[in-house]
Structure 1
């Protein structure tokens, strides 16, 4: 019988074997006391198994305090657990309820984080995965051999559809590849969704007819399920190529429903990520997280960026980018979205740490705040990546390209 495997980073004041057994029992056939129905035959078939325990550091202060535990020593460890696929079949919400669920509430743990997971090959016959992925997004945008360059509409909220369309026009004419709604923008009183789509797509479609280049715009369709489907159809009818979903807001089932429609590339925004990941011993790590969304069918997913404006370290960003590049079920490619306080200067360290151009490089202020305007901002990012991939230093690239040189003057002391 096929099994699903999960790896956890745990901390506990109890013996590791006892704590791991509690984890496995709580998330399969067991409860806090033996019960008559849990026969040996039932456990052999449905109980989770502890496959591996690797003891790590011992600490004197719990990572997450508990009023129910007396002071003592706390053992950290890596634990690998498996479940029979019979327990949840091909049901993603039940899968995540099993792999996480009540685990974070167990008294036995003063820290617990889901680090990674493995699903069997049969999942490929039940989950199509990303419809577009890296190659599909390149095909839709006509971009080959370099990163896709993108930006976010700012101000986040407050502009009318005509105002937004004017900004889009400037960006489209500047040669941008990708634009997205901010995650705060959905359908507001001053910018109803359908009106915004109509105004923006009129600009994008006109440019596509004139130049042959169709900019990908990710409209934020996040809403209640029926409204999301209506928003999705609005984008399709207007000739759009992408929809954005706030993953943690709509959940696995909501995101999968949108991905299953199959007509648009799906841009997965992970806003709320810090709530799940910022604590080193609570939540979920990105390698596990991105696999769940790849199974749901997301084509693009945020990974933060080098020298970003948030809390996440460069090493964590690198691990996230590398996780997106690792094969899943023989395919299921997903385009990493590098963002959060980016300008062309970070391209050099990004490419040094993760030498690939299969990414979407997003800059908001780094484009919109360029001293020469958005057009020079787009050119500066393209120049930065050309320099980084060609082996030039930041200084050499600034000397070679005036638009990027102006970026260094503006943002280089950030």
Structure 2
């Protein structure tokens, strides 16, 4: 196993690709735009980034990104792999990110750059233990030994007061839901303060647990300053809650890492803002390398969008994201996290989702797909579960609906 950090990129450049690769490697390690006396061969050998691979692809006439380019220049594309000694930054996730995704994208010799892969030494498994609960712990706390966790998001996302929120939760619990989450927009506003909302919701959850013999999981959005997040976590824990939620791009790697150190509950990690990191194909991140850092930092659940979603990602991109979350990071340190499928989800994609995930170790969250059922919320939950029963059994959805009225009614509005 290498003791170096390896990152791969899709590169587009108006320069000679080999020269551009060396510029990028120098910018992100020992070099500067001038050769300096103290940048000795020994220092570069010890701490300089290495160009491990450069595979030339096609040439195009127009750049993918705006910049200052000479008239008439053409743009060469390539696959590039760089590596760094872990001694440059230590076993530090924020500094890994600063190294592999720092001052690269704005270089003049770059007209397009996207991170496509990241491989870290196994020493990171000891320094950053990753999810504390993952799939097994989530199933245990939610009382769902088999099948997907059928979930939903409280809607409207904002505007409900604590008691109205609790009333929504009560309907969902009566319908047999497994998992409920705050929307990422619902935090600690004056119309729905976090503390009051948590108390009202957990009153319903604890009462339902007495009836059901299991406790449905609620992910409370505690995104905020670090001290606020710790205090909110402690309140949820004291009320008998079993999950907390955080917006990754809002709190950063340090925020998630410190919450992981403090938390005694699974951390539901929301990726809101993912589009600005990924949507342009010539800029930003693929999901697999991006999620690796957050998984190491302690995310137990990671959003991957959903098949047939309302956003811009293709089904192939969603499938790749889910499979990345389920894939072991190292053979002897799998750090299993649970993918979360959401965004316009209905039972129509249950079978395809089952196939993509290779099983049911997932959270399947539907908002309108549940709340829009003509028979009400409870029938919406039942219909979604029936669709998944059909998917797992390999039964045709229409044939299954003929014997299940809740599913049959759902097919009319899904």
TM bracket, shorter-chain basis: over 0.9
Which residue of structure 1 lines up, in the alignment, with residue 390 of structure 2?
A: 387
SS of residue matched to 2:304: strand
Which residue of structure 1 lines up, in the alignment, with residue 362 of structure 2?
A: 359
Which residue of structure 1 lines up, in the alignment, with residue 131 of structure 2?
A: 130
By how many angstroms is 1:381 displaced?
Answer: 1.0
Contact 1:179 1:218 in 2 (8 A): yes
Contact 2:134 2:338 in 1 (8 A): yes
Which residue of structure 2 lines up, in the alignment, with residue 180 of structure 1?
A: 181
Contact 2:323 2:356 in 1 (8 A): no
SS of residue matched to 1:139: helix
User: 1:28 & 1:323 partners in 2: Cα distance?
Assistant: 28
Counterpart pick for 2:335 among 321, 332, 335: 332
1:156 equivalent to 2:157? Answer yes
User: 2:22 & 2:317 partners in 1: Cα distance?
Assistant: 30
* Counterpart mapping for 1:205-216 below 5 A: 205-216=206-217
User: 1:401 & 1:108 partners in 2: Cα distance?
Assistant: 60
Contact 2:10 2:80 in 1 (8 A): yes
Which residue of structure 1 lines up, in the alignment, with residue 85 of structure 2?
A: 84
Q: Deviations over 1:266-322 (max 9, x none)?
A: 000000000000000101110001111111010001000000000010010011011
SS of residue matched to 2:67: coil
Contact 2:347 2:388 in 1 (8 A): yes
User: 1:388 & 1:257 partners in 2: Cα distance?
Assistant: 39
User: 1:325 & 1:193 partners in 2: Cα distance?
Assistant: 32
1:344 equivalent to 2:347? Answer yes
1:96 equivalent to 2:106? Answer no
Contact 1:348 1:393 in 2 (8 A): no
By how many angstroms is 1:142 displaced?
Answer: 1.1
User: 1:377 & 1:290 partners in 2: Cα distance?
Assistant: 32
By how many angstroms is 1:13 displaced?
Answer: 1.4
1:247 equivalent to 2:248? Answer yes
Most deviating of 346-355 and 39-48: 346-355
* Counterpart mapping for 1:17-36 below 5 A: 17-36=18-37
User: 2:119 & 2:304 partners in 1: Cα distance?
Assistant: 20
Which residue of structure 2 lines up, in the alignment, with residue 168 of structure 1?
A: 169
Contact 1:59 1:75 in 2 (8 A): yes
By how many angstroms is 1:354 displaced?
Answer: 3.4
Contact 2:14 2:69 in 1 (8 A): no
By how many angstroms is 1:226 displaced?
Answer: 1.4
User: 1:341 & 1:197 partners in 2: Cα distance?
Assistant: 26
SS of residue matched to 2:325: helix
Which residue of structure 2 lines up, in the alignment, with residue 285 of structure 1?
A: 286
By how many angstroms is 1:245 displaced?
Answer: 0.4
Which residue of structure 2 lines up, in the alignment, with residue 404 of structure 1?
A: 407
User: 2:91 & 2:358 partners in 1: Cα distance?
Assistant: 35
User: 1:202 & 1:148 partners in 2: Cα distance?
Assistant: 21
By how many angstroms is 1:394 displaced?
Answer: 2.3
By how many angstroms is 1:72 displaced?
Answer: 2.2
By how many angstroms is 1:210 displaced?
Answer: 2.7
Segments of 5+ residues of structure 2 without an aligned counterpart are: none
Task: Give RMSD over aligned pairs.
Answer: 1.1
By how many angstroms is 1:165 displaced?
Answer: 0.3
Segments of 5+ residues of structure 1 without an aligned counterpart are: none
Which residue of structure 1 lines up, in the alignment, with residue 13 of structure 2?
A: 12
With the length of structure 2 as denominator, give the TM-score of the two structures. 0.97
Which residue of structure 1 lines up, in the alignment, with residue 116 of structure 2?
A: 115
Q: Deviations over 1:8-29 (max 9, x none)?
A: 1110111111111111110000
